[in-house]
Amino acid sequence: MECSPYYESDVLAYFDGHAEERALYEAFFRRLCAQFPACSVKVQKSQISFYNRHLFAAASLPVRRKKDWPKTCILVTFGLSHRLDSPRVAVAVEPYPNRWTHHVVVSSPQQLDDTLFAWIEEAYQFAQTK
């Protein structure tokens, strides 16, 4: 995975005061690196973004937390050409016709499973065709 020279310090700054969430992110990052070694990552103010030709996934700390969300969690975001019908999708919006952004709440490493990464694989392929 292509990272900036400041990646590690940027991740530490992004998750400052959120050690448990950083641990979840690190587990997510390791699996993403294994599945998509040719992509790049960029730490931004509001999220950590993953790119092939285009953005295909992101991880972030929840800014507007819903009441029923766990206290410790990260949001995994990805875009598809269609809306997923799954109870795991916390929020889905269609910012452009046939471009759906999905947000999945992840509160444990067990939720970083084959189903989630199949959706991310689909998002990866969808981003390649934009």
> Structure pTM?
0.94
- Percent of the chain past pLDDT 70, that is, above it, reads 100
Domain ranges for the chain = 7-128
CB 83 within 8 A of CB 94: yes
Q: 6 phi and psi, to 5 degrees?
A: -100, 10
* pLDDT of 101 over the 90 cut: yes
**pLDDT score at 85:** 93
Q: 71 phi and psi, to 5 degrees?
A: -65, -40
One-letter amino acid identity for 113? D
Q: pLDDT tens, 23-58?
A: 999 999 999 999 999 999 999 999 999 999 999 999
